Chain A
Amino acid sequence: MPDVVMDAIEIVPCRPWPRHVLAPETWAAFISEVPAAGLVLTALWADTQQVHALFLAPAALTASTLTAPTLASPTLASPTLPSAIPPSARASTSPTSADGALAAPPAIAISTAVEHGHYPALSPVLPVAAPYERMLADLWGHVAEGAVDPRPWLDHGQWTHMHPMAPRPIPTPPASEFDGLLETEEPLMQLGLGPIHGRITEAARLMLLVRDGTVAVADPMLGFCHKGTLTLMRGKSPRNAARFAARLSGDATVAHALAFARAAEAAQQAEPPPRARALRGAMLELERVAGHLDTLGEVARLAETQAVWTRCGLLRERLLRASQRAFGHRLMMDCVVPGGVALDIDPSGAEVILRALGEIANDLPLLRRLHDGTTLAGRLNGLARADLALMRACGTSGPVARACGASFDARLLDRAGTFGTVTAPPDGSGDALCRQRLRIEEISVSLGLIAAALQALPEGPLTVALPHDSGEGFGCAESLRGDVWHWVRLDHGQIAACFARDPGWALWPAAQALLLNTGVEDVDLIRASLALPASGMDL
């Protein structure tokens, strides 16, 4: 495998991990070795001149039990701390030069120049890269040479201009009528679900080819919710762009805002004050509890277990009202801003939240028991069983992967000491029932984290002023669906380029595989069990 440090044309100082610019041949050679090296593709994005890819290293993925000792381990904790890198090493070109502990960073970022509109494709080696490549072609016009799927992803021929992120977008030619049908060799029934589908859902289209009542091909088509968020963020200060990051995904608004804030802070080497860090941590866990309750309830509703749906809805509403009292917004939208938090917790907020947490904790045994009952267990047992190999291939993380025994949790990449033990022990069977049970256990862990954070809130300021510097940074946060990543490049305090990677990019390819050979009547239930998003990855 090419050594990214030795073979790089240029190493761009990006925090906390440098970005290695490779020649197209070196890029292609690196990509071909990715599966053998055990790296996992986490994001593929671009700017007007280069294509960038972020990989998670095996060290980050096998951090095993995720208990307190792991948090203290240098390979995971230190490289993610912008402040842990001495100022003298900040502009350093080699990650190994700062100190020995940085020798194995948890993530590797590589880039290659786009030459005459083309770059070497990843999808022949990494099929999960296909949606990203389609997105790059739609937004920037960068063509992946040798891509397995040349179809558009976000651009449905409705925009006024093609390649809206390119320096010179071109007017969209009149499109031919698109019927949404797939071309197949064998005549199969085609079932198109969406974009308006189900009762109250996100807008996505899932095309199914059905053979004898079971799914033979599942082909998602997204991009319906594309709002041009990245162009709206460009040219703004991180503070002004934060409201767009917070509106990428409503149920992961804190996670997206936090990942974005961390990216902007990393780029400008700013450190949010301790009180802001504790409040952010509490909000992130509150969002996770509310989100997991929503998923638990929705799966139960589709599996016709009213008791679980009713109870989860009640607890969730209780929590949202507590969030409203404490932070002034039920979903805590716009509460996390680059540099800190937008507002302090209400004086009565901690007590109100703790009371709501108590009620949830009281009901967890009941929720566990209901999941042992015949209705729910019988319906969910063995449904859409995922395994670790699929999760690795798709780059999936979050509860879906943890239910297969994976251990990665982006909260591990947080600053050491923000929280202690992170997650519940995975059960490992990977089916819909296991995912439900894991979500209940994650709620239980989150309740403890919130209580610990709120009972020991450090005093002090809520924000730190961001300098108007130039720089690049990555930020990451664990949402209810898995790891959210943001990347920003700042030019004198303004966003020159940015990207947001929602966990949906890794969940949809996994869903595509898990839906195969399942009954058509189970499709909605499986979608709910995986908590498939749309808006966050539609950008």
Chain B
Amino acid sequence: MAGYPEDLTPLPAEGVPDAETIAALSARLDAAAQRRLGRSLALRHVNTGSCNGCELELRALEGVLYDLRRYGLRFVESPRHADVLLVTGPLTRNLHAALEQAYDATPDPKWVVAIGDCAVDGGVFKGSYAVLGGAGLSVPVDLTIGGCPPPPERILSGLRSLLEANAETDRTG
């Protein structure tokens, strides 16, 4: 796969959360969990009514250019295998129960990341009879990554901050 033009390398990370955010995230991990998880996180995508835009960017993360796996991040097929729930879409009333079930099925310790403006606060669909709003109305959200949809590099830097928080806990714990 050598010899690609330079502009194909991932762009510089933007919007990396500051030390305070990372510290807050670290606080959510206990030492025992850290020993078990190591430096890898299993991601489960939960669609709560997305238009499919955020899914396209999540899929791009799996491709060879972003190559999520080199950071120890991987997508899994069940919330039961997941450490992190990646929530996309405005929380529709019809998927409210599905998100709660997915959250309950995810073993502790777990994080929830709201990806995209819709999952952050309902986005343009705020106020609709069919939409509750952001994912935070149903489950505790640890990290928000805005954008419509957020570009892959922004999602990636957000997820890497989770790994950083993980490592931080490792050193201090």
Contacts and interface: CB of A to CB of B under 8 A. Distances in A.
B51 A203 contact: no
20 contacts: A154-B94, A156-B93, A158-B94, A195-B98, A200-B45, A200-B75, A203-B50, A225-B92, A227-B49, A227-B130, A247-B124, A250-B51, A253-B53, A310-B64, A313-B63, A313-B65, A316-B60, A331-B56, A331-B149, A533-B52
A235 B121 CA distance: 23
Interface in A237-257: 243-244, 247-251, 253
Given A159-B129, A231-B128, A294 B93 contact: no
B98 A196 contact: yes
B167 to A, nearest CB: 26
A203 B88 CA distance: 11
Interface string A297-330: 0100000000000100110111011001000001
- By Cβ-Cβ distance, the 9 closest A-B pairs, closest first, are A250-B53, A313-B63, A228-B128, A250-B52, A228-B130, A158-B93, A203-B47, A250-B51, A225-B49
B75 to A, nearest CB: 5
B94 A226 contact: yes
Contacts of B131: 227-228
A159 B52 CA distance: 22
Interface residues of A, number: 52
| Tier of interface size on chain B | 35 or more
B168 interface: no
Nearest to A331: B53
Interface of A: 154, 156, 158-161, 164, 169, 195-196, 198-203, 223-229, 231-232, 243-244, 247-251, 253, 294, 298, 310, 313-314, 316-318, 320-321, 324, 330-331, 333, 533-536, 538
Contacts of A538: 49
B89 interface: yes
Given A227-B125, A249-B51, A533-B52, A196 B46 contact: yes
Nearest to B61: A200
A228 B129 contact: yes
Nearest to A203: B47
A231 B129 contact: yes
Contacts of B75: 199-200
Interface of B: 7-8, 45-60, 62-65, 75, 77, 79, 89-90, 92-98, 102, 124-125, 127-131, 148-149, 151
B130 A249 contact: no
B60 A198 contact: no
Contacts of A195: 47, 95, 98
Contacts of A169: 129
A111 B92 CA distance: 31
Contact of B55 (A154, A226, A250): A250
B7 to A, nearest CB: 7
Given A224-B98, A333-B53, A159 B60 contact: no
A202 B64 contact: no
A533 B130 CA distance: 19
A156 B49 CA distance: 14
A313 B47 CA distance: 21
Contacts of A250: 50-56, 149
B55 A159 contact: no
A249 B52 contact: yes
A251 B64 contact: no
A200 B63 CA distance: 13
B56 A294 contact: yes
A224 B128 contact: no
A227 B92 contact: yes
B53 to A, nearest CB: 3
Contacts of B53: 247, 250-251, 253, 331, 333
Given A196-B98, A203-B47, A161 B60 contact: no
Contacts of B95: 195, 203, 224-225
Contacts of B55: 200-202, 250
A227 B52 CA distance: 13
A536 B52 CA distance: 9
A198 B94 CA distance: 19
Contacts of A331: 53, 56, 149
A160 B92 CA distance: 12
A249 B98 CA distance: 21
Nearest to A194: B98
B52 A535 contact: yes
Contacts of B62: 200, 313
B70 to A, nearest CB: 14
Contacts of B51: 225, 247-250, 253, 535-536
A244 B118 CA distance: 12
B60 A320 contact: yes
A203 B64 contact: no
A229 B123 CA distance: 12
A448 to B, nearest CB: 23
A159 B93 contact: yes
B3 to A, nearest CB: 12
A333 B148 contact: yes
